[in-house]
Structure 1
Amino acid sequence: MKVDIFQYSKMLAKNHINIIYNGPLWAEKLEIFADILQRQLDSDELSLNVSQSVFSVFIEQINNMILYSAEKEYIDHPDNEHLEVSRGTFILGAQDKTYYIQSGNVIKNSHVDMLKNRIDYLNTLDKKELRKYYMQQMNSENDNPESKGAGIGLIEIARRATSRIDYEITPLGGGLSYFTMYVVI
């Protein structure tokens, strides 16, 4: 398929999009994107706090896609002949030292209510309450060695965001939905 790259680049510039990706995601690819983002943040000469917040939210969003995407595929990998990886999409944009990170991936409908309830709850908390809730959850995670850290990442995203977490869940049928998260830092 041929894409009008000129029109596409104009759309990216108009929306202040610096990085966009759609495809398979796994730990090594996350490291590559993290390195690219770190170089971008270094060149933008941001305060350490803003730079750390953007980096942390980016890592959490990509990691959530890797862990929870219901859309999987297998790739040939040097260390693992048929490595199962997740699929997802993310966008990183910036305008006037304000960053936004948008991510999207397919999720199981069995996760929808829990995800909505958790984000809706986090969106009711102020920064002080988020910190307190984060500490409570960290302590309870330490008490449960079986936990995969579910929820801590969302709390970290909410703590670092400069506004509420914006999200959409679009039913796809077949027991699946598409989850989109938009975070401003």
Structure 2
Amino acid sequence: MTISTNSLMSLREYFSNQQILICFNGPISTNLIGEIGSALKEHIESNHAPELEVMDVFSVYIEMSQNIRNYATSHGFSDSESSATVVIAAAEAGHYAVCAGNLVEMGDGQALLERIHELAACDKAQLKLLYKQQLRQPHTQTPGQGAGLGLIEIARRSSQPMEASLDPLEPGRAFFSLRAII
């Protein structure tokens, strides 16, 4: 597909209407995560957002992006397989939506979806307790073993329960999407 000037204008209008601040789609590296994070932080700060809000959005973006990068690396995914889609947008009532998605093995995606639904059912006090319990667990160095402390931290920083979806792709794989409102 070739991007024309008309389609670029349409894309710009869509981004503006959806209040999308930053959007990325493609292979994600550690350096790129940092660069996008810096741009995100500067943009939110320029809107005179409270420092705690800036740090919450930044932290959730970093956690989601690093989880995607770590997962792709631990599974030996190629550049095209390790592509991520990350969108940060202004949301209702002065909040921000941090959304990220990536290719996963179907079983991993189903387990992650189940974990997110469990966390979505927890209130702030329960999330704090889960966080403390997870901190006391022995730390595993097994590559790709995520969805522990970081996911709980995203849930704790979110102003609403996280939302997630799993869209089947080729046999045994799916596209996992996660949305957090900060």
Identify the residue that residue 2 of structure 1 maps to in structure 2: 3
Identify, as 1 or 2, the structure richer in helix: 2
**Aligned residues of 1:103 and 1:180 also touching (Cα < 8 A):** yes
Quote the Cα distance in structure 2 between the aligned partners of 1:50 and 1:88: 24
**Aligned residues of 1:30 and 1:62 also touching (Cα < 8 A):** yes
- State the shift of 1:181 in Å: 0.8
- State the shift of 1:105 in Å: 0.6
- State the shift of 1:147 in Å: 5.1
Identify the residue that residue 77 of structure 1 maps to in structure 2: none
User: Could you tell me which of 105, 110, 116 is aligned with 1:108?
Assistant: 105
**Aligned residues of 1:92 and 1:99 also touching (Cα < 8 A):** yes
Identify the residue that residue 163 of structure 1 maps to in structure 2: 160
Structure 1 unaligned runs (5+)? 75-83
Identify the residue that residue 63 of structure 2 maps to in structure 1: 60
Note the alpha carbon deviations across 1:129-178, whole angstroms, 9 max, x for none: 101100110110xx235356621111011000110111110111221001
Quote the Cα distance in structure 2 between the aligned partners of 1:11 and 1:40: 19
Identify, as 1 or 2, the structure richer in strand: 1
Alignment of 1:57-136 (within 5 A): 57-69=60-72, 72-74=77-79, 86-95=82-91, 97-136=94-133
RMSD (Å) for aligned C-alpha atoms: 2.0
Task: Give the TM-score normalised by structure 1.
Answer: 0.86
**Aligned residues of 1:66 and 1:85 also touching (Cα < 8 A):** no
1:12 matches 2:15: yes
Task: Give the TM-score normalised by structure 2.
Answer: 0.88
1:137 matches 2:129: no
State the SS of the aligned residue for 1:130. helix
User: Could you tell me which of 50, 54, 60 is aligned with 1:51?
Assistant: 54
| Letter paired with 2:163 | D
**Aligned residues of 1:171 and 1:177 also touching (Cα < 8 A):** yes
Identify the residue that residue 180 of structure 2 maps to in structure 1: 183
| Letter paired with 1:144 | H
Structure 2 unaligned runs (5+)? none
Percent of aligned pairs with the same amino acid: 26
